[in-house]
Structure 1
């Protein structure tokens, strides 16, 4: 199984199918995510599709999504 590290060029992630939220800004300033074979996820800046990607483990993604759903980050709005 391929292991990816933070900062890898997003274009080097084999088989990546990048997606952005339907709630993204129409100006194109958003982040995109793709799933990784180990269950983790990669995140990139949609304005720099070949730039660096941040890599998160499955546990990190799960913890973040639980936090979002339970309102832990509502203070950012």
Structure 2
């Protein structure tokens, strides 16, 4: 399934509360068909990166375990 521009434009984008009002954060949105959209909150006009729900879940699992800490 392909994600349409309309789906992305109407997506319920969310960002972490930790980012506050700075706009310096990633935003995510659940999309139809088991996809997840990811975009830079400072540049919402740019095309988002779209991944499957299983890829998103693997990333979240790794983040919770500290695998991406710098």
TM over 0.5: yes
Structure 1 gap ranges (5+): none
Structure with the larger RCO, 1 or 2 (CA within 8 Å, 6+ apart): 1
**Structure ranking higher in helix proportion:** 2
Q: Which structure 1 residue ranges, 4+ long, deviate > 4 Å from structure 2?
A: none
The two structures have a TM-score, normalised by structure 1, of: 0.74
In 2, Cα distance between equivalents of 1:25 and 1:45: 14
CA RMSD in angstroms, aligned pairs only: 2.2
Change (3 A) 1:14 1:49: closer
**Structure ranking higher in strand proportion:** 2
In 1, Cα distance between equivalents of 2:66 and 2:51: 21
